[in-house]
Amino acid sequence: MSLNGIYDTDNIFAKIVRGEMPCVKVFEDEDTLAFMDVFPQSKGHMLVIPKKESARNLLDVNPDALAPILKTVQRVAHAMKTALSPDGIIITQFNGAPAGQTVFHLHFHIIPRYDNTGLGQHASGGMADMDELNAIAARIQSAL
Ligand code: 5GP
C-alpha cells in the first residue's frame, strides 16, 4: 500500500480498538491507546494509536488529533524511562509501505535502546513471550 489509499476498518489496530482482538494494554484514555508490540524490536517496545481517527498515517490524520496522541507518546515514554531504565528511546512512525509501514492505522513506536544490545528487525522478528510482555507492561504501568 502506498501513501495513498482508503482506510481499512478491518486492520489489526482497528480491531484492537474495537476489542475484537486482544492487546497487552499499558495506558488508555478517551483518545488514545498504548500497548505492547507483540513482535518487539527490543524489550519494552510499545505502540501508541488514536482510538477515534480513521487515519492510515500521519499525513491523513486530523491535525487537531495530534496533540492527544503525542501527549500519550510522551507520557508512556516517561514511564518507560522510569520503569526500564533504557539508555535511549526511539520514537518513530512510518508512512506508506515503502517507508516500512505494515499496519495502516496511524501509530507511533516507542522503542527502548540498551547499550550493547542490538535492535531486532522491524515487524518481522519473533513473537514475544506473553508472560514476559505482561510483566514488562505491568512495570511500565506502575510508573505512569
Ligand atoms: P509498522 O510496520 O506499521 O510501522 O508497525 C506495525 C507494528 O505492529 C510492528 O512493529 C508489528 O510488530 C506490530 N504488530 C503487528 N501485528 C500486531 C498485533 O497483532 N498486535 C500487536 N500488539 N502488535 C502488532
Q: How many Å lie between the centroid of ligand 1 and the Cα of residue 62?
A: 22
Do residues 128 and 40 touch, judged by C-beta distance below 8 A?
yes
**Torsion sign, CA atoms 118, 119, 125, 130:** positive
What's the pTM? 0.97
d(CA 27, CA 75): 9
For residue range 12-41, list pLDDT tens digits in order. Answer: 999 999 999 999 999 999 999 999 999 999
Q: Which of 7, 101, 103 to mutate to test the pocket of ligand 1 (most atoms within 8 A of CB)?
A: 103
pLDDT value for 2: 79
pLDDT tens digits for 94-142? 999 999 999 999 999 999 999 999 999 888 878 999 999 999 999 999 9
Q: Which of 47, 104, 111, 136 to mutate to test the pocket of ligand 1 (most atoms within 8 A of CB)?
A: 47
Left if phi > 0, otherwise alpha if psi is -120 to 50, otherwise beta: which for 74? Answer: alpha
Q: How, if at all, do strands 25-28 and 32-36 pair?
A: antiparallel
pLDDT at 1: 58
Ligand 1 neighbour 57 (Cβ under 6 A): no
**Are 96 and 1 within 8 A, CB to CB?**
yes
Q: Which domains, ranges and CATH numbers included, belong to the chain?
A: 12-142 (3.30.428.10)
Instruction: Return the active site residues.
Output: 107
Q: Which helix (H) or strand (E) holds 132?
A: helix 130-142
Cα 104 to ligand 1 centre (Å): 10
